[in-house]
Structure 1
């Protein structure tokens, strides 16, 4: 689905980074998206959006999965 979205669509290099830093990088590298911090274990909607990147983080504020558009 992300093939139809504009700009960079995933950030594997941010796995293990500080979540707040990841948000800044994502929004700088793709101005078409807003990065959303999501604590591990949270329930989220299943809808796909080209303007959203979820940044999943653990209790230490570390990114635990590859951020990607969706």
Structure 2
């Protein structure tokens, strides 16, 4: 079975964070999508197996999720 090597999801801006998390992990099973509230302080390390899904206080994706 061949998997997509998709690394950015601009079409998910405006979607629910939970929906975005499922879509990302289905489209690229090599990554772990992590929902992060906008304004949170995180490490600046780059990881090719992680996608941060930035959401606002309502749980809506506010920037294009991408690998990193």
TM-score range, shorter chain: over 0.9
Counterparts of 1:7 and 1:46 in 2: how far apart (Å)?
Answer: 23
Q: Secondary structure at the match of 2:22?
A: helix
What residue is the counterpart of 1:25 in the other structure? 23
Cα RMSD, aligned residues only: 1.0
Q: Secondary structure at the match of 2:34?
A: strand
Structure 2-normalised TM-score? 0.93
Structure 2: 5+ residue runs without aligned partners? none
Residue 57 (str. 1) matches residue 55 (str. 2)? yes
Structure 1: 5+ residue runs without aligned partners? 1-5
Q: How big is each residue's C-alpha offset from its partner over 1:8-33, in whole Å with a ceiling of 9 and x where there is no partner?
A: 10000000100000000000000100
Q: Secondary structure at the match of 2:21?
A: helix
Moved over 4 A (4+): none
